[in-house]
Amino acid sequence: MSDGARVIVGVSGSLHSLTALHRAVAEARARHAVLVPVLTWTPVGGERSYRARPCPPLLQEWREAAGARLERALDEAFGGLPVGVSVEPMVVRGEAGPVLTRLADRPGDLLVVSTGQQGAVRGRLHRLLHGSVGRYCLAHARCTVLAVPPSSLHADLRALHHGIDMRELTALAAA
């Protein structure tokens, strides 16, 4: 099916990453490429904290939880593995940007990343402390990077969520 072409996509399970995952599947089908959904993880508290107090059983739990998150994301997006495309899911320990750019190391690879939550307070704080995965990938990748913006449906859902009057909802539920 594939001539060695790969479409590598960062997956976290967020709505934004699921949008990027859908786009990556479409790209993999169009290119007759292997889809490589990648979920990265780090020990709770970070690598430095883990090195100070290693606990292999806990590390195994975190690894398994990351695998379950990737499986759940694929289930939420497609009801399992997407049909019509070869899939090689990966769970990798490390920070997302460096892991993704290290994996997407072939000139013919396509790296698909979400641009994330535009303007969200948590998003701004997270980017300030950890940097943007998308920006990291755009700056460091050795292959083509496709940055997928949030779907317009995300803004509609956010507006709907913020526009709900909880008193009205409670009154409707009680009726």
User: Per residue of the chain (175 residues), what is the pLDDT tens digit?
Assistant: 557 899 999 999 888 899 999 999 999 999 999 999 999 999 999 999 999 999 999 999 999 999 999 999 999 999 999 999 999 999 999 999 999 999 999 889 999 999 875 444 445 555 454 568 889 999 999 999 999 988 766 555 555 656 655 555 555 556 6
Distances (CA, A) of 53 to 41, 45, 94, 131, 173: 18, 11, 18, 26, 49
Return the pLDDT at 119. Answer: 43
Predicted local distance difference test score (pLDDT) of residue 122: 47
In the chain the domains, ranked by start, together with CATH numbers, are 6-174 (3.40.50.620)
What would the pLDDT profile of 111-145 be if each residue is shown by its tens digit? Answer: 999 987 544 444 555 545 456 888 999 999 999 99
What is residue 159's predicted lDDT score, i.e. its pLDDT? 57
Assigned token pair, 68: 């379950």
Give the helix ranges, DSSP H, for the chain: 15-31, 47-52, 56-78, 96-103, 121-130, 133-140, 152-163, 166-174
